[in-house]
Structure 1
Amino acid sequence: MIDTPRYKELQTILAQQTDEKGRIDTLVDMGVEVRNIDVEHALKMAEDIIQRSKVVAYPRGIGRGLNLKGSCYWLMGDYEHGLAILKEALHIAERIKDVGLEARVLHNFGNIYRDMGDLANALTHFEKALINNEQIGDEFAQSVILTSISNLLYDLNDYDSALEYALKCLPIFERAHNRTSLINVHNTLGNIYFKKEQFSEALHYFQENLKHSEPETAAYVMAESGLGKVYYKMQDFGNSSRYLTDALREAQLLGNVEVQIICHFYLGRLYMDDNNDRQALQSLHAAYSLAEEYQRRHDLMSIHEVLSALYDKMGDIPQAFHHLKTFEQLKEEIFQQKILSELRNLQVRQQIELARKEKEVAERTARLKHQFMANMSHEIRTPMNAIIGMARLLLTRDPRPEQLRYLNAIQMSADNLLVIINDILDLSKIEAGKIVIEHIDFSMREVLQSVRDMLMLKAEERHIELRTSVDDALPRKLTGDPTRVNQVLINLAGNAVKFTEQGYVSVHISLAREEGSKLWVRFDVTDTGIGIAKEHIDSIFDSFTQAGAETTRKFGGTGLGLTICRQLVSLMGGEMTVQSQLGKGTTFTVTIPFDRAAEQTDEVQSNVLDPVSMRRLNNMKVMLVEDNEFNRMVAEDTLKELIPSIRLDVAINGQEAVDHLRREMYDVVLMDIQMPVMDGITATKIIRTELPSPQRNVKIIAMTANVLQEDVQHYFVVGMNGFVSKPFHAEELLLKMDEVMSGGKALSETEETIDKPQNEPKMEERPAAPILPDRVTDMQFLKQLTGGNADKMNKYIGMFLENAPKLLDNIDRALAISDYPTIKIAAHSLKPQLSYMGVKEDVSKIFLIEQSAGSPAHFESLPPLIHNLKHLCKKAFEELNNSKS
């Protein structure tokens, strides 16, 4: 029975009402009071209010009843129904122009979104509600909203600002003698002081709530759970356990999900501290099930973090990995909403409009940037494909010595241009901190020779000397990122050649210092060029900036080079300085740390394709789909020269490709993406969905200048089997063609069996060993995860070495009996374990295996993928066994 002072007061008012609409309004107020004690009773009252309002055609009463009903669903954790009901209430409030009702509905929207962890949406609705309450001058209602905003700041860990808002609301609620609002703000203050580790203040507010709340109500059990978690932090485990246990029992009777989650969570931590891991796991899983069922993302984030620590303590490393990774992902999703700065200075009207405009501008800018990057990449790479391809073909035609020199220069310059294109494409990644620095074995001398080969012709044209040297103290092999080192040196030395009219350019590499296996390598790029004025030295590393307008007019360039260099050097853990004297020259000095490679002998590179693979390629029937005449010429001539017996047809757009396939079958389709009439994506979709078998299962390789990651991912989603970027390398194209065919029976094999010796094994039984990087594992993530703790790293590596072979065996045995669901499950389990060991997806193809095992159209692609995975894992196991200290 409800017998609070406010409820009794409302009962008296109800008895005095003579108008049905007045009675309905009073019933709504009573329902709000009941809602905080018995939510199910309040829900029934809301239904009654809605029906009574419909009888007397009272839309405000219907709206208020719906708002009460939606708020009840919120408190019951039924967010989906709550949002649906509140949408009806908001529609009515807007239609009848009731600003106060609209504010209440918006506030309840915000409460639901906050519980769901959608803080950006919560803030938007709280701010709109605050605007409405300011319009009608309702100070009390404004304070209710500000309390909710204080809770939002608490969610974002901005406890000082949260405290400031809550303390401002406290005297307003005290003056109004509104017990419900006081209890809410006391709970908020208790939580804030708890997080600020001011436990005596936290106890005070939770005890106040316990004293002023009715037993067996939501407010009472919330206060009990608050006391329980404060006592836990104060290490008063007896009181903590007592309050948490009592609160849990009562919350279960009331159906209060929030309190149940809190109690299960802190009881789990109590059991964990007491080394009762089994009971701890049971409590934490109970908290997790409730948080997941009711979509409470903040709670899920905290639970995942503690579960990770518990599983680590129990020695279950895969589960510890899983929960840690999920915790990090949830934390990033919740906290990346970028609303903290908006909340610090709450200027609501201006901020809502500004946020809307900023969002529109940001979205439009992102779309334009993506479109620009994709178009630029395609437009540059398409003619580059023809230049590189024709140069390569001419190199095979026995050119004269001077022609050979020019062709080599063309090829090197084109390769250099591709590096520049990739720099521009990578610039956004660098600025976003998403660029990945590799750690592979390489020869610094080979890197320097590559730089020399690329710049020698340009230096000779300018009649300057190009000097290169490497300190003998430097080991033959280092571990680092040779591509990024080459990128930095090409940029610095290229600039030096560009700005030097007489004298020399020198690139000297030396050993700066050595500590164990860590080597600091120094790169000095010196020139006798124009130099840099003192007033420009500080600005040359800024984007799109050169040393003065005169330099830009005379020498050209984008001004991006030094910006990218400095960022790359920083990402590799190095530093970069410059010394220059106007008219006399410049020296750029770069120092980067590397590891000494474990293996110092040079490896002999084997051929990419073995005789079996070449025989398979020679028997292929291929369709080339390409609209660009020059690119068609390059691809046709290259394929016919490298694979003399290949049967090659040509289509100039996607429609022609589909028509060809309707008439005859091919082993492989080399599909361009951007074409007139019909593009490659549309053609692939039609082939996969409309053509009959076996044509619909033809192998399709995207061969395109569109190389952005999201584009490449889309090619696989629509059903393509492989991807080769333009300009293509002949070896890469042949390898990709062989890769997509080696797992299934090629058309040519059935047609030309008569030409093969009868005792020769079928080709798919003897797939070529995949070409793998020098090192497939990378311990950087594991080092970060364990803080460099060798014992923990060895423990995680040991768990991987124990679990991964079992999963690999499951995949292998499942493939033998065509058990594709088992392959998908095992691949899904193996995928995160490989990533923790630093094995990249583009090497393992484990994600592609998982996806292919779930799609009947791609079952045929699994054998070569799994063959590759087995070789990769064998190498990974060897590396990890050798790395354990």
Structure 2
Amino acid sequence: MKLLRNIFLSIVVLPFFITSCFAAQKDIQFTQLEKDFIKEHPVIHLGVDPQFIPYEFIDTDGVYKGIAADYIKLISARTGLEFVVEKNLSWPEAYEKGVVRLLDAFPCVSKTKEREQYFLYSEPYYSFQRVIYINENNNTIKNFADVMNRKVAVQTNSSHHSYLKAFESIKPSPYFKVEEALRAVADGREEAFIGNLATSNFLIKANGITNLKYVEVASEEKQSLYFAVRKDWPILVSILNKALADITQEEKINIDNRWLGVEKRIDYTQIIRIVGIVGIVLTIIFLVSLYWIVKLRKEVETRKRIEAALKVAKEEAEYANHVKSTFLARMSHEIRTPLNAITGMAYVIKKTDVTTIQKIYLEKITRAARDMLGIINDILDFSKIEAGKIDIERISFNLDDILEQLISIVSFKIDEQNIDFSMNRDPEIPTFFWGDQKRIQQVLLNIVNNAVKFTKDGAVSLTIRLVAKVKDSYKIEFSVKDTGIGMSNEQLEQLFAPFSQGDSSISRRFGGTGLGLSIVKSLVEQMGGSIEVYSAVDEGSTFNIQLTLEVDRNKDYEEKKKAASVYFQNIRVLVVEKNAFYRNLLSGYLHSFNMVAEFATSEARALELMEKVSREDGTSYNLLIVDYETPQDGGIAFCTKVKRLPWFKEVPKFIVMIPLSKEELFKNLEEAGLDFGITKPIIPSILYNGIVEIFRINVIEMHESSALITTQKPFKVEYPYHVLIIEDNKTNQFIAQSILEQSGFRVTLADDGVEGYELFLKMQQDFDLILMDIHMPVMSGYEATSLIRNVDRNIPIIAMTADAIAGVEEKCKSTGIDHYISKPFDPEQFIETIWQVVKPYKEGLLIKSGGEAKQEDPVKVIEGVLDEKDGISHMGGNADLYELVLKEYYNENLEISSILCRAIEKENYEEAAQIVHKIKSSSGSIGAKGLYKVASNLQRALGDGEIEIIPKLHKEFDKILKQLLSAIAKRINLHVRD
């Protein structure tokens, strides 16, 4: 309808628009800038041509006159500006003054390129052109075409004379003076004269000629007159343009008649042509409008019908989406609740006195539950991706933890299908990165699961390699290769489509939702990575995933590995492994630990090497890394045999590499009294941790005493924090209560929101934290939280819910719930979350009340610079190792202060940053937190070249370092050098 209205208005307004051109203008509306200019510059000084008759000239009485003078009077009346003409100047003199801005403007000039360098121009206000003069009684000449084949008077050697020479049918009749030619036409001696309109009219009036009229030469371009204004006054140009536009047509005609007062013969041919064109245009517009009115009416009716149908479809889609969301929420909740019971009970049982093999079986139960949870998460993730609501986290994570979990989950399927699985991790890749651990693990697990699923014979391999490195940014490629069924080009094209697995028969043969790869591609792209697939039917497939990750320097295991590798250099290693792939892999891993190993491909060769070493130099191997399948009777029997050999002054330590499918051998390993078992494929950090574990004492004492095997104690809190669990499911109550009580918490149970709220009112001061289920009978968790928050705004509340759909976490936060744990939860992560929330809250309460927060353990801090407990914890709780590390730290850094000072004085900031980085890493490891913090700031300033703050930070660093070395000297009974 808007289009119809606009067309109609155009038809109605057009005639009025045409006639309005002749209407007088209203009062001029000046802008504030223009008003300010007029106020600041009330007088404008003009330069003129004193002989440019009749456009402008200085008359015999000394008065400025002419067409331009009349226009200036009108402009002055409209603007209030006073225009003062600088007299007694020739035109060249006036122009030179204007160029150097001693004059403000010229009122009557034509535009040239040279003048545009110095002046700004107004809109043209007057034009003139070549015309034909005839006797007023002559009606035969109406336009230029009528003078063809006639004789025409013209001034000799004028531009008009040259102009006529171009027309062969016109015969010029030359005169020396214009006045003579005009008189000849007036007397009837000549039929017509061609000349300049303004000049000719002035001479006609000056000579008293009264019987002439003129006809325009329509084909000639008109020449225009302008105001030229100094270039730094654009506002004056704007004022002049508005004033010129305000001059009425009547006023312009009066000026014309005054200076060019000769009757003009109007040629109506052009007017008739214009009126005809306008009439035709209006008729066309009317007919087109009429057509579109009819057409648009039909389209409007059709659109209304479509909109009505779309509205119905939208309502149906919204209802269907609501039903889907409700179904997903209900399905997730109903399945997650029993899964939480399965994983929780398995965790509780593992904490009891069970055998190693029973722990393995319990782990398999947990893995199966996690597999089922993975299917649920796939469906929920796809729903989130569809809605564009999936988020990518940025947290610090351990890459090897992902790989270890991955191997643990797929081991069951690998064992079931009896295929080989290998992994090759580039040792140059750090361990700790910033990124979304959950999503990276989800991507890799999906790809590896698929590779295992579709490989009935052969092998699956996972290769992790470094593609590129820029500072702390690492581009890493995860390559999963299998020898499975492969895919055709047609299947590859549909591979990442939802609910697609190449073709429908694959889903029937191998199972699965068909959502996995679609989710993988979306997640990889959201993390800024890429995924490529290469495959051929019956030859297998290769998936290459590239992700760019930022290393976490504060946690990175590589830094700690380098700091500790000095203690490994005297460990002599013998590897017994028949597989060349694993020999090369272990060689690279051990080399990165600063360890050199010898290799034996059989049991006989290993015994030969051990005997040879013992006889030749009287030493022996300190560590044997034995593949279980290489010795004829198995690796455990071989190690037991080696322990009884007489060649060793000290029995070596043993690490047995267990096949992925034979986890039950860990029980035999334990019974044989061997030191450590590790599952193939090998993860470097697990191998490293195993070596550190079994050589904890020997590393310090250079292998002079036997090693002690320590076991990791379960996490226990020293302070008995009191937790209120509000949960209606008895199984979930039992699991949460058992896990918390095993870790040293006190627990009180409530079956619903009402009971929980009442308990809180009675025992408010006794509770340190509330675990709140969301969906409960009688009163929901949301309602209970609102009531509790009316009483206490600070007590931590953590939601426990099986709802994992979008929006639940946001609703929890808006209600007053601080944290969110999704069921089924990882028990250790569950304890960690509660611990991280309750500890600062309780300590804050104690400080506010004037008390002191209870320490979990007596912590000795020497002179405020060395935290022994923190340092010993970095040594795995081994105080003897800590003692040795302190000595090494002291000796290594005794001269570091002067070395750093010289580097900074020479402004060698790169070297200084490397020195600070080295001491920062080791300072954090021994518990020198203050020095670690200052070193971090100084390293950053050195790296960024912030010369303003480097001296201050260096002074602080040097002060704390000296205090630390003094404290260490006292600690180990040394004397500091003067």
Same fold (TM over 0.5): no
The interval holding the TM-score normalised by the smaller chain is 0.3 to 0.5
Structure with greater proportional helix content: 1
Larger Rg: 2
Structure with greater proportional strand content: 2
Normalization by structure 2: what TM-score? 0.41
Normalization by structure 1: what TM-score? 0.45
Q: Which has the higher contact order (CA 8 A, sep 6+)?
A: 2
